Amino acid sequence: ESWLGVLFYLEHLLQREDDMSNHDVWKRVNELVLAALEKSPEEWPVFLETSCGGDLALRREVESLLTAETEALRRVDRPALELLAPEADPKGLRIGAYEVVREIGRGGMGAVYLAARADDEFQRQVAIKVLKPGMNTDDLVRRFRKERQILANLQHPNIAELYEGGHTEDHLPYIIMEYVEGEPIDHYCDRRSLNVRQRLELFRKVCSAIELAHRNLVVHRDLKPSNILVNSDREPKLLDFGIAKLLEPTSFGAPTVTAFGRRLMTPEYASPEQVRGEAITTGSDVYSLGVLLYLLLTGHPPYRLTHRTEAEIRRAICDQEPERPSLVIQRTAETLSADGSTTTRSPQKVSQTREGDPAKLRRRLAGDLDNIVLMSLRKETQRRYASVEQLSEDIRRHLEGLPVQACKDTFSYRAGKFLRRHVKEVAAAAVILALVLSFAVDRELQQRRIAQERDRAQQVSAFLIDLFQVSDPGEARGNALTAREVLDAGAASIERELRDQPELQAALMNTIGQVYRNLGLYAAAEPLLVGALEQRRRVYDRPHGDVVESLDQLAVLRMNQDNLAAAEDLHLEALATGRRLWGEEHPLFARVINNYAMVVREGGKLDDAEPLFRQALEIRRRLLGDQHPEVAESLTTLALLLRDKDELADAEALLRQALALRRKLLGEHPDVALTANFLALVLRDRGDLEAAEHLFREVLELRRRIQGDNHPDVASSANNLATHLVFRGELDAAETLFREAIEVFRSNLGEDHRYVVTAMHNLAVMLRDKGDFEAAEPLAREVLATRRQILGDHVLVASSINNLANVLRGQGRYEDAEPLFREALALCHQHLGDKHRHVATAIHNLAVLLHDRGDDASAESLARQAIEMRRDLLGDEHPALALSLSLLGSLRLRQGKTETAESLAREALEILHSKLPAGHWQIAEVESLLGETLVAQHRFEEAEPLLVAGFSTIRERNSQPELRDARRRLLTLYQAWGRPLPPFLDPVYGNAGPP
């Protein structure tokens, strides 16, 4: 009786085949029936409407066979029906060693269930895919087994793992796979409002999974959001290799053409060759990934579909060129989904879940991303990326600000296609254009312009001759004039000598103002740059490039003067004017964007600044090429931002590229020193102290040589080298450099400039490390008050709060220090997120305080967090990691776990010895801890030299918590050893034991 349903269906099938004399029609009906069976019955009406179009006879034949199939299933034997029928509750059914919890998916060929391990061996939830009764034909079973074998060969963190397979009691094949609890990648990105960078990083993980499949000669052929789920760990998982194609010649027989209606693909994500039934290659997956990337970045599909008929979809995929992503996001569109529903996408709605603003999203997508996506969607496979690896690599290069392989369609390619389509129209247009051009040359106007330029050049020449005549011995009368004096003379004579040439006057005022600014003479630069802008506003009664230049130069000066609000207003006006004049494809516009990004970064808005830096870099590369000083500038400023965001490896790579380019193009130049200075900072952050110090000294020497001793850049280098020397423990040399930097900054920038405050902050840190808390505390308080007043809610304020808290802790004032440490940590979290080296520092500092106060449980939790973050962010050989390891070792010692404590102390010491000079106070503190672990193990002779040396160094520094611990450890040693106290211990304690 179990076969009655099958026989009933076959009888009906054969009867209909006998009735149909046209073999092609019957083939088409059969294809549509098989395609419909891969769907649920609820989807059949919409599917038939789109697939059959207006062919009512075809639709009636398909519906009659589907009705027969439904009747057949009703007659199938009960056990299989109970397992797989839609109306049955599968809960509790056993499949292998697993018990079904619920159904999680169903199609025409089978169902997928969530199941749990039913025995007591271990606990695991899995997904079980089971073939549907009546569908276990030889062809479908072979396909099912092929999917199982494919999964067995693909081991990748972003591919759902195959656990095992087998057959049910009803001889239905099944696959047991990893259960992925997640949501489709497009929904995941939109619900969490991931920005473009985050979407690209997630997409690259998908590419990595596909790369593995291709290396195993497997083409997925059905890449779409529903087959890529993102779990709670933010990891995408690739599913459903049910229609994957093996590329091994021995794995299949004669090639077959897959009909469009059979749906061995998802048409919206299928490549042109899939739709046409041609050979499938890895390029097909590249195309499908391009469709997915288009959707993730824009929220729109690459093709506009009105009715979703087969003919329309085929025409769109094979012939229609997709719109550029940066343009498609600007339109409002309604998209027809496969289920018949419509989705409205507006610029505001799309950008809200990406970059927040339509204009910002358009700028982010324009350029590289436009080209990358469109190269993935080329109709011809040979013009797409040759592999998924190349696509992923181009995205990586884009994210790192490097050149990409994708390029725009060449003019010859596009022009050739256009000419072939419009031969007559182009020929007529060419004749008209030739006539227009022949009458367009106005010779009189050209000659007049030449005369004006000649007169202007003569006036400039006369001005410069008069200016430099003051250097003639007959004029100078024995007095040697400096370049600064010549410059001052020129600035004074501009208004007098060029009164009748306002354009030329403004140009020279702007130029000399820039020179003053580059010399660090901001007070002298201000009237010239302000005057140049005012003059140009009067001369030009319409938007003009000279006005844009003056706005930008004055804005840079305002930033140098620490007036960020004024700088931002000037830059925004410059951007608006430049955009009206040129659009965004102009070198000066790119310069304004880059300078504006610097203002935004200085204001602490790192996420807002990054796309601006990247946009400037993209424009400059397009217009100027890779070997240009302005490209080097963009690489440098972008790297500086990445350092702020703790992306140190990427920052170092960009800075090395920029430094090599600037050295090649500029030689010995202030810009070379600037980039080298930033590289030294990154090397220090990464723990490469020797290379950092060499570069710091090289930069300081270069700046002194080419900029003199009284320049803000020289003060900046002195400050940076001094900060490094504090890290190395060379405190006296550091103090001299700090005080020199403060004086130079004050003389050039004024008392309250942020550079002055930064150098004072660093001096306070040095005094704290030196143990001079009496001098450190008032200075730390002054810096904190100034930064709160100037910067408000800024991450630099957190640094000053943290410094004052450390000063108070060094004095043993724990109750005063703790709320400050907690405030600093909260501010770091607010501005830097949960994964940043400064956050790790704030966590470590609070843990040290809690350790001092005896709150070991809280201290240990924080110490572990600091260790994990520092290993991840800084590597295994950074001094900061050593301090956190030492702290955890001290906590372990208190718990009586002496061997663990010893191991942690030795690991910390090994790192510090490799990075810091002998006798450094941080080495002394860890040696003292190691000595205490040895005392606890009665290894007194090993412990004594460590404890004595540590005590001697720590006593010179005079930090109360560390000095108290070092003294206590020595007293404990001599008491446990039964020996008298040495004379160097403070006699006030006598033999009474440790305090």
Catalytic residues: 222
Interatomic CA distance for residues 820 and 474, integer angstroms: 67
Query: What Å distances lie between residue 932 and 176, 323, 393, 892, CA to CA?
Result: 55, 70, 52, 12
Cβ pair 539, 503 in contact under 8 A = yes
Interatomic CA distance for residues 85 and 106, integer angstroms: 10
How crowded is residue 107: how many other Cβ atoms within 10 Å of its Cβ? 16
The helix, strand and coil proportions of the chain, stated in percent and rounded to the nearest 5, come to 70, 5, 25
Cβ pair 75, 4 in contact under 8 A = yes
Cβ pair 794, 828 in contact under 8 A = no
Burial of 98 (0-12, 13-18, 19+ CB in 10 A): buried
Query: What Å distances lie between residue 11 and 65, 169, 830, CA to CA?
Result: 11, 27, 71
CA 905 to chain CA centroid, nearest Å = 36
Closest CA to 372 of 405, 333, 338, 421: 405
Interatomic CA distance for residues 892 and 399, integer angstroms: 43
Interatomic CA distance for residues 696 and 677, integer angstroms: 6
Q: Count Cα neighbours of 407 within 13 Å in the Cβ-side half-sphere.
A: 8
Tokens 């800075």, residue located: 655
Cβ pair 629, 671 in contact under 8 A = yes
Tell me which DSSP letter residue 440 carries.
-
Interatomic CA distance for residues 273 and 281, integer angstroms: 9
Cβ pair 837, 870 in contact under 8 A = yes
Interatomic CA distance for residues 268 and 261, integer angstroms: 13
Interatomic CA distance for residues 362 and 579, integer angstroms: 14
Query: What Å distances lie between residue 577 and 340, 558, 564, CA to CA?
Result: 46, 19, 20
Tokens 């504006």, residue located: 596
* The two three-digit tokens of residue 497, written as one number: 């000598």
Report the Cα–Cα distance between both ends of the chain, in Å, rounded.
93
Interatomic CA distance for residues 271 and 278, integer angstroms: 10
Tell me which DSSP letter residue 159 carries.
B
- Give me the DSSP letters along 280-317: --HHHHHHHHHHHHHHHHHSS-SS--SS--HHHHHHHH
Interatomic CA distance for residues 886 and 881, integer angstroms: 9
- Give me the DSSP letters along 882-920: HHHHHHHHHHHHHTT-HHHHHHHHHHHHHHHHHHS-TT-
Interatomic CA distance for residues 846 and 819, integer angstroms: 10
Cβ pair 807, 776 in contact under 8 A = yes
Rounded to 5 degrees, φ, ψ at 126 are: -135, 170
Q: Please report the beta strands in 286-425, taking only residues with DSSP state E, as ranges in sequence order.
A: 333-336, 342-345
> For residue 11, what are the contacts with CB-CB under 8 A and spacing of at least 6?
none
